[in-house]
Amino acid sequence: MEKLIKMKLLPMYKLVLFVGISLISAGNLMAQDTLKLNFQEAVDIALSNNLNYQIQSNEMEILKRQKQSALASHFPNANINTSFQQQNGQQFQQIEGEIVVTNVTNEIVASGLSLNMPVFNAGRRILDTQSSRLNYMAGEKGLERAAQQVIFDVSRRYLQVLLDGELLRIAEENLENQKQQLEQITGFVDAGLRTVSDQYNQESEVARLESVAVTAQVTLENDLWDLSEYLQLEPTVIPQLSAVDPMNAVVSFEGMTVGELYELALSNRSDLEQQEMLVSAAKKSVQAMKAMYYPRINAFFNYNTFFTSLDDRSLREQLLKIYPQNTLGLNLSIPIFNNFQTRLDVGRRKVAYQNQILQKESVDRKVYQEVKLAYQNYRAAVLKEQNTQIQVLAAEEARNAVRERFRLGLSNFVDLSTANQQLVAAQADQAQAVFTLYFQEVLMKHALGTLDVTF
């Protein structure tokens, strides 16, 4: 009966081993190209490929041109115009005090220069300039926050891959230890010190750990693919990440209260500054449109001249000496009724201003919630990392004690297996706790607006 059980266990063990090796090999075959990356390089690639960041970068060009246009509105508008026309038929000419009508062809060349400059428009030019400048500065802050979001997203994926690699290492190390344990138990069985059931149980445990290692390998490859997709690498390119030392994470926020952290966020969050600037810009935009209710004064200058084929003098003489006209003046425009168009435009900008205030209030609440949640998770991560250190030390001592008792025949296989599983679980918990604490540092800096690319 024992031989029959052994014959059934061994094929199952080989089957699991074969499936695991096949999955790992398939993953390795797909990884045709390996790209070595450190965190800074990963961030640079993400910033150059991230869709939202690139869209905001492109929109900055529009904001820049709007600012330039508003600044240029303080200078005169200048236009040069010229025209050529031919008139056939009756032409009226004044000859020796009489009007003579002749049927001729008259070729006319007309040219002119016009300058127009606002003198007074109730401060609209100044307000438009200030509004466009604030919009541009707000765009810069928005772009800065978008960059921090990209860094945060890369950090989460980058650290997850490193954690997966650590968990795979733990699984493979445990598998190797259990294979050695299997050899030892087999020797005990051959010497008659242990029953064959202990050997079968260990073989089953090794087979289980083979599956655990395969699962860890698949998880690592899936998260590598997720990072590659976020970085928008080629499908055949698999990143090989440089390690970071999460044990060097500085507990830099310990002892600070939520209120202190929130004050720090208020002074550093670029999206808060962005919203404040957008509110100010919207307010000035409303004031600029209200200026259309008031009279406006424009200064203008026009220079016009022409040439006619009915005059025998030369083109140069007619254009430059005979027919030039200069006009210089002021134009006063008093709005009386324009079908409520100005009122409509003011109403639209008021609504945009009110909506911007609501948006700012929403961001204020969001920042406080993010800071509070990040701080709570950060404190929990600190405590968990400290606890897992004790957990691993205790599990190692317990496993060593049970292993020695098992060698002396004072303990059974169940105790040994349980002690080993507890140690592996403690090591996995510690790895997760260490990387979680490291990531919580990143999360706190993201919530506070102090995140940079220095790792």
Nearest to 409 by CA among 185, 206, 201: 185
pTM of the model: 0.77
Q: Can you tell me the distance from the alpha carbon of 291 to that of 124, in angstroms, rounded to the nearest whole number?
A: 6
pLDDT tens profile 195-225:
788 888 888 888 988 999 999 999 999 999 9
Sheet holding 296-308, edge to edge: 77-95, 98-120, 296-308, 325-333
CB 309 within 8 A of CB 108: yes
3-state secondary structure of 198: helix
Residues paired with residue 328 on neighbouring β-strands, in sequence order: 301
pLDDT at 61 over 90: yes
Residue 60, CA distances (Å) to 126, 335, 381 in order: 21, 35, 39
Quickly name the fold that domain 77-90+99-120+297-334 has: Outer membrane efflux proteins (OEP) (2.20.200)
Q: Tokens in use for 323?
A: 């027919």
Q: Tokens in use for 454?
A: 């220095």
Alpha helices by DSSP H, 191-312: 196-231, 258-268, 270-290
Domain ranges in the chain are 2-74+122-294+342-448, 77-90+99-120+297-334
Q: Tokens in use for 266?
A: 């208020």
Q: Can you tell me the distance from the alpha carbon of 167 to that of 247, in angstroms, rounded to the nearest whole number?
A: 16
pLDDT at 27 over 60: no
pLDDT tens profile 404-423:
887 777 777 777 778 888 88
Q: In the CATH hierarchy, which top-level class contains the domain 2-74+122-294+342-448?
A: mainly alpha
Model pLDDT, residue 154: 92
